[in-house]
Amino acid sequence: MNKYISINLMAIVFCINIPAVYSVGMTPNTSAVIIEEQNKEGTIEIKNTDAEPMLLYSKIVRLADDDFDGALIPSPAAVLVQPGETQVIRVLLRTNKKMEKEHLARVEFSGIPTQNKGGTRIDF
């Protein structure tokens, strides 16, 4: 039986409660990534649907009630994604022990706007 880790995805964009932001930012192509133990990695594509380049920042968040004794590493953790472009993010599994059960984790994707040349203003 293949053991695997399921990663629930949560896309985070600045001011997500503002309706105008729902159509822009970083958009994952799926809501879950399954990492099989023998493959040691999974991938997901993130598209920049904004009209400006954005820094895509990826972070793994471990659930408090999960006892997984290993590491999940997003690669690349930060990358500049041009408008309309898609970036493949690899999620690497690193562990020295055999997994006895399934584990869950969350990966957060943040789209960080680039700085305006005229100052430190961020437009939403």
Q: In this structure, are strands 86-94 and 41-48 parallel, antiparallel, or unpaired? A: antiparallel
**In the prediction, which pLDDT does 9 show?**
44
25: domain CATH number is: 2.60.40.10
Bigger pLDDT: 114 vs 118: 114
Most confident of 64-68, 86-90, 92-96: 86-90
Whether pTM exceeds 0.85: no
**In the prediction, which pLDDT does 2 show?**
54
The phi-psi region of residue 25 (left if phi > 0; otherwise alpha if psi is between -120 and 50; otherwise beta) is left
Residue type, 98: K
Domain boundaries, position 96: 4-113
- pLDDT, one tens digit per residue, over 44-86 is 999 999 989 999 999 888 888 878 888 889 999 999 999 999 9
> Would residue 83 count as lying in a domain?
yes
Say how many domains are in the chain. Answer: 1
